[in-house]
């Protein structure tokens, strides 16, 4: 899904935000599909021309099918189209480089009204940075989040499953009672025979804090990571104003050591694979 989402994001580039252009595209496509909701190549080609979207009708059909927006029978799925629109809004411009790479770069969750005041945005969006880091993982992913909710976990589910297919081990450290939020991911991980990597979800509680850890950290391959104020919640990725940094370099391994230590004192561990 992440590859298709990137392709659609890139094809929607223009003067307006990708999520807004997606809404216009889906509206035009729905009108063309009519009551039956059938998406045909000729109609799709006309919609692409009318809305100024890049790419061929064949490329779009492939990506729309991968995203579930067009079902196996060739019909438009409005619910999936809405979900993709939300994903594009959360990722915003984060798939686009804003300048030369450095050892750290600012990251933010900026609600749409605030983003509108800062266009073009000076910072990459938190949700897009998390997607990008998970998608680039080659060996291991360590994630620490005290608070999570189902919608935000669902947002990362496909990228995490994709990482499992690449043999990437996943470790999650969260607070008491939140491991269950990852149950659906764990079930898919276990059922997928193409995944040979390990997934561990740990709940941490210490004598110093019932919360265990207030850290919000994502570490990938001990080389790249995110540190910030955003929880893995709908509000943290799209509703609240959150600030953080994306970091690269040898210092990221120190973050990994802290997360490994947290896992060692876990009070409950769910191991998959």
Interval 181-216: pLDDT, tens: 999 999 999 999 999 999 999 988 776 666 677 889
Phi-psi region of 173 (alpha: psi -120 to 50; beta: other; left: phi over 0): beta
Residue 191 counted as domain residue = yes
- Please say which residue of 26, 60, 91 terminates a domain: 91
Q: Is the same domain home to 120 and 202?
A: yes
Q: Is the same domain home to 220 and 268?
A: yes
Backbone angles phi, psi at 223, to 5 degrees: -125, -30
pLDDT at 158: 93
Q: What is the DSSP letter of 212?
A: -
pLDDT digits (tens, 9 = 90+) for 207-219: 666 667 788 999 9
pLDDT at 73: 92
pLDDT at 36: 86
Note the pTM of the prediction, 2 decimals: 0.77
Residue 72: how many other CB atoms lie within 10 Å: 7
Q: Is the same domain home to 181 and 256?
A: yes
Backbone angles phi, psi at 249, to 5 degrees: 115, 180
Q: Is the same domain home to 84 and 118?
A: no
Which residue blocks in the chain are alpha helix, DSSP H? 2-11, 18-33, 41-51, 57-66, 78-91, 112-117, 126-136, 150-165, 183-191, 234, 252-264
Torsion of CA 178, 92, 11, 162, to 10 degrees: -20
pLDDT at 233: 95
Q: Is the same domain home to 177 and 253?
A: yes
Instruction: Identify the helix (H) or strand (E) that includes residue 199.
Output: strand 199-204
Residue 270 pairs in a beta bridge with 201
pLDDT at 108: 92
Expressed as residue numbers, the domain containing 228 is 104-272
Q: Is the same domain home to 268 and 216?
A: yes
Instruction: Report the number of distinct structural domains present in the chain.
Output: 2
Residue 104 pairs in a beta bridge with 247
pLDDT by 10-residue block (mean), the chain, 273 residues: 82 82 94 90 92 92 93 93 90 69 84 79 87 95 94 94 96 90 92 93 77 87 95 92 93 92 79 62
Residue 187 counted as domain residue = yes
pLDDT at 102: 61
Q: Is the same domain home to 172 and 251?
A: yes
Backbone angles phi, psi at 171, to 5 degrees: -125, 130
pLDDT at 267: 74
pLDDT at 74: 93
Residue 97 counted as domain residue = no
Residue 205 counted as domain residue = yes
Residue 199 pairs in a beta bridge with 170, 272
Q: Is the same domain home to 66 and 109?
A: no
């Amino acid at each position: 899904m992440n590859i298709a989402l990137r392709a659609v994001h890139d094809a929607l580039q223009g003067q307006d935000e990708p999520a807004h252009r997606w809404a216009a595209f889906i509206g035009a496509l729905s009108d063309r599909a009519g009551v039956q909701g059938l998406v045909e190549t000729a109609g799709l080609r006309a919609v692409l021309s009318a809305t100024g979207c890049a790419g061929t009708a064949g490329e779009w059909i492939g990506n729309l099918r991968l995203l579930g927006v067009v079902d196996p029978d060739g019909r438009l799925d409005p619910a999936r189209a809405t979900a993709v629109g939300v994903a594009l809004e959360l990722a915003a411009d984060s798939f686009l480089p804003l300048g030369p790479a450095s050892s750290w770069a600012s990251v933010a969750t900026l609600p749409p009204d605030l983003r509108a005041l800062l266009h073009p945005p000076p910072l990459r969006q938190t949700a897009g940075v998390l997607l990008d880091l998970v998608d680039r993982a080659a060996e291991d992913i360590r994630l620490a989040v005290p608070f999570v909710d189902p919608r935000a976990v669902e947002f990362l589910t496909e990228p995490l499953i994709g990482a499992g297919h690449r043999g990437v081990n996943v470790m999650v450290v969260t607070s008491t009672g939140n491991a269950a939020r990852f149950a659906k991911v764990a079930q898919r991980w276990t059922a997928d025979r193409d995944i040979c990597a390990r997934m561990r979800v740990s709940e941490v509680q210490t004598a110093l804090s019932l919360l265990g850890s207030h850290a919000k950290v994502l570490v990938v391959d001990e080389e790249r990571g995110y540190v910030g104020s955003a929880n893995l919640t709908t509000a943290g990725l799209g509703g609240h104003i959150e600030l953080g940094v994306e970091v690269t370099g040898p210092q990221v391994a120190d973050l990994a050591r802290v997360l490994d230590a947290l896992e060692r004192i876990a009070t409950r561990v769910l191991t998959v694979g």
